[in-house]
Structure 1
Amino acid sequence: MTQRYAVILAAGQGTRMKSKLYKVLHPVMGKPMVQHVIDQLTPAKLDSIITVVGFGAESVSEQIGNQSAYVVQKEQLGTAHAVQQAEDILKDKQGTTLVVCGDTPLITHDTYQALIEFHERNEAKATVLTTNVSEPTGYGRIVRDADGHVERIVEHKDASNEERLLTEINTGTYCFDNAALWKAIQDVSNDNAQGEYYLPDVVEILKDKGEKIGAYMTPDPDETLGVNDRAALAEAEKVMKKRLNHMHMKNGVAIIDPDHTYIEPDVVIEADAVIQPGTIIRGKSVIHADAQIGPHTEIIDCEIDEGAVVTHSVAKNSRIGKRVQIGPYAHIRPEADIANDAKIGNFVEVKKATIGEKSKVSHLSYIGDAHVGSQVNIGCGTITVNYDGKNKFLTTIEDDAFIGCNSNLIAPVTIGKGSYVAAGSTINKHVPEDSLAIAREKQTNKEGYAAKIKNRQKD
């Protein structure tokens, strides 16, 4: 089998982004652009990937990790110069080298695979990935001869007026015969408007030597979008959002308003889940069948089981069981585990707590650092007082307990199975099983005292 390699060009600082963040690390749908490129290259089973980095090299390697080897382009002298930085790793190898840009996050694995196979099938020395666009300004143009073969690639700045009318563009992605690449790249000159060493010149050099040059045209110009500024970044986000939502709908997910639904690429959603408008689902969340998410809900790194309903709420790094009802306006913070058929109502915050089956926290409560058993009812305004300013402590509420409204449970404390806590109580001692705990001041009525206060206010 032919050996295959990839070189990712990721050394540009990206000054047009006007950002302190290294260009290829700007996220599209929650994931850095260069990570999208790596993820789409990985299924091609390449023998090695080399990423060319420059300014911000450490932050790129922190993101990609051991998914790639790295070489540094200390001076930004053009794309051919960038590729040359990988020469020491690849120059003695045989096979196919794919050169891609780290700021093209929309190119799919299918396109990379089709380009490689087209290149190898045609036994070309170089193959260019091209596409047709309605507005080609800024892109290199593909100049073909009378027979339709690639004659040369001309950069926009160096193109004649006639050449600038061409709409077939160079996407900046190439396949090369590896040995031919390193031989031809030595002859690239910087005699051009920018004084740079252009990688497309390698194609022209190979053609002048009589080598076979190919061009594979992708029918979808959107996927070849290169991101050089914030406007292009927003456009890439829009394209990928549409692509991902379309994929989920094809798989049986009901997305009520795809234009106003944001689902990141690593999210898994099963068929018959319903996603309402204004919903954002991030990270590695898993949404099971028949769950209903939204409207206006954010889910981050959560597993939400079958038939659960989460509306107008935020949930992060938690597990939500079957048929759970959450919201509106609930906040499920990290490490919550909410069991089947439980209910978390409006203006309830749950953090690092387990909520047992069929238990209810219906409104206006904070349940943090707690173990709540099954069929527990927690009344409005209940607080697990878990923090003393230095340490956090556990509250345990056992099965079938009933917590009255406006109760403070000062941890560490246990409410025994089947016990009641009277409304308005502040509990700081363990409550035995099947007990009633009352911890509040005895009510005192001073008859006529309100009239005295009113008369005093008149004076």
Structure 2
Amino acid sequence: MTSRSCLTVILAAGEGTRMKSALPKVLHTIAGLPIVAHVAKAVHGAGVSDIALVVGKGGDQVEAAVRSIVSSVTVHEQTERLGTAHAVLAARASIARGYDDVLVVFGDTPLIETAALDEARDRLAEGADVVVMGFRPASPNGYGRLIEREGRLIAIREEKDASEAERRIGFCNGGLMALRGNNALALLDKITNDNANREFYLTDVVEIANADGRSVVAIEISADNVIGINTRVELAEAEAIWQTRKRRDMMLAGVTMQAPETVFFAHDTVVEADAILEPNIIFGPGVSIAGGAVIHAFSYFEGAKVGPNANVGPFARLRPGAELAAKSKVGNFVEVKNAKVGVGAKVNHLTYIGDATVGAAANIGAGAITCNYDGYNKHLTEIGANVFIGSNSSLVAPVSIGDNAYIASGSVITADVPADSLAFGRARQEVKEGRAVQLRARYAAQKLAKKAE
């Protein structure tokens, strides 16, 4: 397949008014990635060399989303909405460059799979001139039917025009199509708008190609591949399908998930085999979890790396730049941001570690925090290997704690602590014996006096 050049025309000019959003429809996200970028990702996986992107409103943003996946993109603006064939022909200049294969897909079908596009290209390589991707919905009502005869696709019949026998056909048009490149424009130019809506329909290419004696076939793909997004309800439904696919892929690859339906992945989440994911975990973009790591329930990740056999949560939050080394531990109600936690280090509970390095085997006590922000700038806290930070300590950055140092509980540390030192940073305690009795008597009298007023 790699020896055949391919252009994919992505139709992304729809305004998406039913989304009720100022954002172009195809820029709404699934698993943290714009819908149109999901399409570009599938296309890229099918060995496509170039993309012709047909855009309308918000074209610059749509282009940026596609270019984040594929660099070779030519943008074509569709200024009028005169049907699907008209939209494809907006990319005439790109098609005319000459390709072996031309794929036509929609920018709002984020669940299209590379395997479906591969199959369409395979049929072109075998000699087909037109390949239509069809599916079998639970109910065919409302869909155009694919009419086949002796292995050939002879027509796409809209339901309102279909006979009773044709309406009983369960094989329906998915809208996605592949054309042999050397005759794509010739076929497209023969499409007319001689219909009630005065529009140019891409589906007409089937009967035109048949009339020219060309080979037209249909392939069957799963219904998920052709799900289009027009409303936020459909966006949520597509998200659910994507997550189900991802969970299955993860488990088949060796990841243990105790309650998979409660774990949510981003488009680029990497979890290695033998990692264990407990219930109710959310992964934002840019997260990798190494093998053997255990992620406990109700934890949230974004832009973070977790090393082999590390232990995280429950109720942990790892923000961008968090990096946990092998066998480290980040426990309940701990937040880590832009910080590296060394091999075997422990940050067990109720702690904030931000803009910091934590050395190997260090132990950070409950309630300890790095005070990294002065209201204007962020500063670094360096904690050495085997350091012990006592509970409820505040490390005011910039500050460095040397290897094997000990910070007494409740300390506020504002200056560097050398290696192997013990640091106290708290007020001296005084005890006044009997003073509590006096205080209680005084406060009781004050309370009675207020009531008497």
TM-score when scaled to structure 2? 0.88
The structure-2 alpha-carbon separation of the partners of 1:263 and 1:216, relative to structure 1 and needing over 3 Å to count, comes to: same
1:207 paired residue number: 210
Given that 2:309 and 2:327 are in contact with CA atoms closer than 8 Å, whether structure 1 keeps it comes out as no
1:364 paired residue number: 350
Inter-partner Cα distance in structure 2 for 1:287 and 1:114: 33
The structure-2 alpha-carbon separation of the partners of 1:110 and 1:412, relative to structure 1 and needing over 3 Å to count, comes to: closer
Q: Which of the residues 138, 142, 149 maps onto 2:142?
A: 138
**Tell me, which stretches of 5 or more residues in structure 2 are unaligned?**
none
1:305 paired residue number: 307
Given that 1:337 and 1:353 are in contact with CA atoms closer than 8 Å, whether structure 2 keeps it comes out as yes
Query: Counterpart of 1:171 in 2: which secondary structure?
Result: strand
1:120 paired residue number: 125
Q: Offset of 1:163 from its aligned partner? A: 4.2
Given that 1:181 and 1:202 are in contact with CA atoms closer than 8 Å, whether structure 2 keeps it comes out as no
Residue pairs, 1:8-407, within 5 angstroms: 8-65=10-67, 66-91=71-96, 93=98, 95-121=100-126, 123-145=127-149, 147=150, 149-156=152-159, 158-159=161-162, 163-218=166-221, 220-310=222-312, 327-407=313-393
Q: Offset of 1:114 from its aligned partner? A: 1.1
In structure 1, give the amino acid aligned to 2:217. G
Inter-partner Cα distance in structure 1 for 2:99 and 2:225: 29
**Tell me, which stretches of 5 or more residues in structure 1 are unaligned?**
311-326
Query: Counterpart of 2:241 in 1: which secondary structure?
Result: helix
Given that 1:158 and 1:192 are in contact with CA atoms closer than 8 Å, whether structure 2 keeps it comes out as no
Given that 2:46 and 2:115 are in contact with CA atoms closer than 8 Å, whether structure 1 keeps it comes out as no
Segment of structure 1 superposing worse, 154-163 or 15-24: 154-163
The structure-2 alpha-carbon separation of the partners of 1:430 and 1:208, relative to structure 1 and needing over 3 Å to count, comes to: closer
1:318 paired residue number: none
Given that 2:368 and 2:391 are in contact with CA atoms closer than 8 Å, whether structure 1 keeps it comes out as yes
Given that 2:303 and 2:320 are in contact with CA atoms closer than 8 Å, whether structure 1 keeps it comes out as no
Q: Offset of 1:69 from its aligned partner? A: 1.6
Q: Offset of 1:200 from its aligned partner? A: 0.7
Inter-partner Cα distance in structure 1 for 2:320 and 2:259: 28
Q: Offset of 1:24 from its aligned partner? A: 1.9
Inter-partner Cα distance in structure 2 for 1:138 and 1:76: 22
Inter-partner Cα distance in structure 1 for 2:131 and 2:233: 30
Inter-partner Cα distance in structure 2 for 1:429 and 1:141: 76
In structure 1, give the amino acid aligned to 2:81. Q
Q: Offset of 1:171 from its aligned partner? A: 0.8
In structure 1, give the amino acid aligned to 2:355. D
Alignment: residue pair count: 440
2:447 paired residue number: 457
In structure 1, give the amino acid aligned to 2:399. V
Q: Offset of 1:247 from its aligned partner? A: 1.8
In structure 2, give the amino acid aligned to 1:7. V
In structure 1, give the amino acid aligned to 2:22. K
Query: Counterpart of 1:238 in 2: which secondary structure?
Result: helix
In structure 1, give the amino acid aligned to 2:442. K
Q: Offset of 1:165 from its aligned partner? A: 4.0
Inter-partner Cα distance in structure 2 for 1:136 and 1:159: 12
Query: Counterpart of 2:21 in 1: which secondary structure?
Result: coil
Inter-partner Cα distance in structure 2 for 1:414 and 1:4: 57
Query: Counterpart of 2:274 in 1: which secondary structure?
Result: coil
Inter-partner Cα distance in structure 1 for 2:272 and 2:394: 40
The structure-2 alpha-carbon separation of the partners of 1:215 and 1:365, relative to structure 1 and needing over 3 Å to count, comes to: closer
1:6 paired residue number: 8
Q: Offset of 1:84 from its aligned partner? A: 0.7
The structure-2 alpha-carbon separation of the partners of 1:410 and 1:107, relative to structure 1 and needing over 3 Å to count, comes to: closer
Q: Offset of 1:283 from its aligned partner? A: 2.7
In structure 2, give the amino acid aligned to 1:46. V
Inter-partner Cα distance in structure 2 for 1:44 and 1:107: 11
Q: Offset of 1:199 from its aligned partner? A: 0.5
Q: Offset of 1:81 from its aligned partner? A: 0.2
Inter-partner Cα distance in structure 1 for 2:50 and 2:423: 67
The structure-2 alpha-carbon separation of the partners of 1:155 and 1:67, relative to structure 1 and needing over 3 Å to count, comes to: farther
Segment of structure 1 superposing worse, 351-360 or 194-203: 351-360
The structure-2 alpha-carbon separation of the partners of 1:78 and 1:277, relative to structure 1 and needing over 3 Å to count, comes to: same
TM-score when scaled to structure 1? 0.87
The structure-2 alpha-carbon separation of the partners of 1:190 and 1:339, relative to structure 1 and needing over 3 Å to count, comes to: same
Q: Deviations 1:406-456 (Å, cap 9, x if unpaired)?
A: 323323333344333333333323334443333333333443331333333
The structure-2 alpha-carbon separation of the partners of 1:278 and 1:455, relative to structure 1 and needing over 3 Å to count, comes to: same
Q: Deviations 1:192-237 (Å, cap 9, x if unpaired)?
A: 233211001122122223333221223x222222223233323322
Query: Counterpart of 2:218 in 1: which secondary structure?
Result: strand
The structure-2 alpha-carbon separation of the partners of 1:158 and 1:437, relative to structure 1 and needing over 3 Å to count, comes to: same
